[in-house]
Amino acid sequence: MRKLYTALLRLALPLILLRLWWRGRREPGYREGVPERLGHYGLDAPPKLLWVHAVSVGEARAAAPLVRALAQALPDHRVLVTCTTAAGRETVKQVYGETVLAAYLPFDFPEPVQRFLEHFRPRLGVLMETEVWPNLLAGCAQNGVPVLLANARMSEKSARGYALWSALTRPAFAVLAAVCAQSAADAERLRALGARDVEVTGNLKFDVYPDAAQVAAGRAWRAALGRPILLLASTREGEEKLLLDALPAWDGKLLVVVVPRHPQRFEEVAQRVQSRRTRTEMPGHGDKFHLGDTMGEMPFYFGACDVAVIGGSFMPLGGQNLIEALAVGAPVVAGPSMFNFADATRLAVEAGAALQASDGGSAIRTALGLIADQSRRRRMGEAGKKLCEAHRGATEKHLKRGLSLIKS
């Protein structure tokens, strides 16, 4: 089955490269590093290297506690962080600076994968969350590279999809040396798909501490503005219109800050707002909508808001990370589609730190109700911070498991 998969990928390669070039119109990073995606690297490989793959922005940030723990535990090793998206590559630079090596992961063809593994010779591979690639894992097995699936999650929807192609995916899951699952439900689904040595270790995202300086700057910004702030955080295509159109007539005070999930959509969303962060320090008194068109500043926006509505949850996309908002102490309202963060959402709702709405209109009404209720917002904010504190500790468990896989 893997041979057929590889043959189909080879046929699709011209289209894959064309898509990279097309996406590079808005994000130039997609036109850079193409040789790396084909397994050709100019980076010098250190003698001892640990490899962590974080596909995009969320995974790159979630991996930070583990990357730093690995670097501290093995100071004679360098860490290579690979990604797939241009935004992910930029996030690696923002989060890690020069402390790690950064590169694109090769396409899932046997030859680029082999060149990647021969060039870097990693002693351990760590794949974040759901990055299971058949040829990559087969290559790791052939080259004696143990692979840990870290912070692993598997929704019911994703599990059904993998099960449909079990002849291809089951051998890939079986190759994994170990799996650190976010929850018992994730662990059960991963075992059913063929993964072995699965351990429930919790969610690494709870171990990510928000940047204190950014949070303080956000709170100072809100105080200077002197207006209630509703944050639409990490919105996806179609959600801005859905949520903004659900707002009642403007009361002359509320400021809605919109932060799209993907930077290539900043200009599109800019058509609906009166001001944007990159062009004005403070919104005008008559501004209703303000665009958060910066990367890496979510702690600022969560610190600035009275209530955060979580994007990606009003389309069937599985939601975006609500844990960062909880850690800052922002009351959270999520939509119905949070399957990528199902366990964290359940815990937050049960703790009284978040509310889950059935649709966009309900979410806006709920959020505005919270803005009018300061005492409830305060209780939700404290509940969110306590929840994050109670669920920290996944990094230590991941580190112990990862170190056990490295051959002496």
- Detail the DSSP E strand segments found in 321-403: 332-334, 354-356
How high is the pLDDT of residue 393? 95
How high is the pLDDT of residue 29? 84
Per-residue pLDDT of 227-268, as tens digits, reads: 999 999 999 999 999 999 999 999 999 999 999 998 889 999
At residue 129, φ and ψ (nearest 5 deg) are: 75, -80
Whether 199 is catalytic: no
| Three-class SS state of 50 | strand
Per-residue pLDDT of 146-168, as tens digits, reads: 999 999 999 998 999 999 999 99
What pTM was computed for the model? 0.89
Cα–Cα distance, 110 to 269 (Å, whole number)? 40
Closest C-alpha to 339, from 313, 358, 364:
313
Please give the class, per CATH, of domain 212-390: alpha beta
Between 20-34, 90-104, 127-141, the lowest mean confidence (pLDDT) is in 20-34
Encoded amino acid at 317, one letter: L
Place of tokens 């950014």: 214
Fold matches, 2-202+393-405 and 212-390 = yes
Cα–Cα distance, 170 to 168 (Å, whole number)? 6
**Which residue is catalytic, options 27, 36, 59, 129?**
59
Per-residue pLDDT of 38-89, as tens digits, reads: 999 998 899 999 999 999 998 999 999 999 999 999 999 999 999 999 989 9
How high is the pLDDT of residue 1? 86
Cα–Cα distance, 204 to 316 (Å, whole number)? 24
How high is the pLDDT of residue 408? 55
Please give the class, per CATH, of domain 2-202+393-405: alpha beta
Question: Helices in 165-307 by DSSP H: which ranges?
Answer: 166-175, 184-192, 212-225, 239-244, 266-270, 298-304
Cα–Cα distance, 26 to 164 (Å, whole number)? 35
Domain ranges of the chain: 2-202+393-405, 212-390
Mean pLDDT, the chain, rounded, equals 95
Query: Mean of the pLDDT values across residues 295-300?
Result: 94
Strand order in the sheet with 354-356: 275-276, 289-291, 255-260, 229-235, 307-310, 332-334, 354-356
Give CA torsion, residues 271, 275, 278, 280, to 10 deg: 160
